[in-house]
Amino acid sequence: MSKIFKAFRHLALTAHALAAIIFVSGCSLIPSYERPASPVAAQWPASAQPGQAGLQTNPLPGWQDYFTDATLRQLITTALANNRDLRVATLNIEQARAQLGIRRADQFPTLNAAVTGSRTPTSAGGINSAYAAGLTVTAYELDFFGRVASLKEQALAQYLATSEAAQTAQISLIATVAQGWLALLADEELLAVSRQTLASRTDSLKLVELKVQHGAASDFELRSAQTLLESTRVTLAQQQRQRALDENALVLLLGQPLDEASRAQLRRDKAIPLRLAELPAGLPSELLARRPDIRQAEQLLIASNANIGAARAAFFPRISLTVGAGSASSALSGLFKDGSWGWTLAPQLVLPIFDAGRNQANLDVARTGREIAVAQYEKAIQNAFREVADALASRATLAQQVQASQALLEAETARNQLTQLRLDHGVANQLEWLDARRSLFAAQQALVQTRLAYQQNQIALFKTLGGGAVAPQP
Whether the pLDDT of residue 11 is over 60: the answer is no
Task: Give Cβ neighbours of residue 261 (< 8 Å, ≥ 6 apart).
Answer: 71, 74
pLDDT, position 473? 46
Residue 471, in any domain of the structure: no
Q: Is the pLDDT of residue 361 over 70?
A: yes
Which residue, 296, 330, 351, sits at the end of a domain? Answer: 351
In a domain, 274, yes or no: yes
Position 221 confidence tier, pLDDT thresholds 50, 70, 90 = confident
d(CA 371, CA 373): 5
Among the candidates 327, 351, 375, a domain finishes at 351
Percent of the chain with pLDDT over 90: 43
Residues 167 and 231 in one domain: yes
The answer to whether residues 122 and 150 belong to one domain is no
420 domain-assigned: yes
469 belongs to a structural domain: no
Same domain, 280 and 308: yes
Average pLDDT, the chain: 84
Domain check: are 208 and 190 in the same one? yes
Judgement on whether residues 194 and 260 belong to the same structural domain of the protein: yes
Sheet holding 341-350, edge to edge: 111-121, 127-142, 318-329, 341-350
Q: Which of 253, 281, 278, 276 is nearest to 466 (CA)?
A: 281
Residues 204 and 239 grouped into a single domain: yes
Asked whether residue 43 is assigned to any structural domain, the reply reads: yes
- Domain containing residue 188: 31-107+143-317+352-464
CA angle (449, 452, 456) in 5-degree steps: 140
Q: Which of 166, 187, 179 is nearest to 250 (CA)?
A: 179
- Judged on CB neighbours under 10 Å (0-12, 13-18, 19+), 4 is middle
Q: Yes or no: say if 193 and 243 are a contact pair by the CB < 8 Å rule.
A: no
Q: Are residues 209 and 325 in the same domain?
A: no
pTM for the predicted model, two decimal places:
0.84
The verdict on residue 453 lying in a domain is yes
Does residue 418 fall inside a structural domain?
yes
| 298/199 same-domain check | yes
Q: Do residues 122 and 268 both lie within one domain?
A: no
**C-alpha to C-alpha distance for 189 and 194, rounded to whole angstroms:** 9
Say whether both 375 and 397 belong to one domain: yes
Indicate whether 247 and 341 sit together in one domain: no
Dist. CA 64–CA 255, nearest whole Å:
20
Tell me what percent of the chain is helix, strand and coil, each rounded to the nearest 5. Answer: 65, 10, 25
Q: Has residue 77 been placed in a domain?
A: yes
User: Residue 260 is part of a domain; what is its CATH number?
Assistant: 1.20.1600.10
Q: Looking at the 3D structure of the chain, how many domains does it have? A: 2
**pLDDT (tens digit per residue) in 149-186:** 999 999 999 999 999 999 999 999 999 999 999 999 99
pLDDT at 401: 93
CATH (domain of 344): 2.20.200.10
221 plus 342 within the same structural domain: no
Q: Which of 351, 366, 393 is the last residue of a domain?
A: 351
Strand-pairing partners, residue 320, are 141, 348
64-70 mean pLDDT = 87
Spatial distance between the Cα atoms of 345 and 140, rounded to a whole number of angstroms: 12
Inform me whether the pLDDT recorded for 451 exceeds 50: yes
